[in-house]
Amino acid sequence: MMIFCFVLFENSTYMQTSYRIINTIIEQEKEKEKEKEKEKEQKEKKKKKKKKKKKKGTLI
């Protein structure tokens, strides 16, 4: 989920702080997406390992 904020202020310091806040929010969302992708990959790996173990168990 991306958040886009366009804020206009008369003072440039407010612009800089708002820009930083927006960037931190976007970075946090990107990190969350990366973590979710890693979790999905780990779950898929675990499923593959479980399938392999089941196959080995049935062959014996």
Total domains, the chain? 1
What is the average per-residue pLDDT within 36-50? 84
CA distances from residue 27 to 7, 38, 42, 59, 60 in whole angstroms, order as listed = 18, 17, 23, 48, 50
CA distances from residue 7 to 14, 17, 18, 29, 31 in whole angstroms, order as listed = 9, 11, 7, 20, 24
| CA–CA dist 12, 28 (Å, integer) | 24
**What domain range includes position 37?**
1-60
Instruction: Provide the pLDDT confidence category of residue 1 given band limits of 50, 70 and 90.
Output: very low
Quick check: 57 pLDDT over 90? no
pTM of the model: 0.52
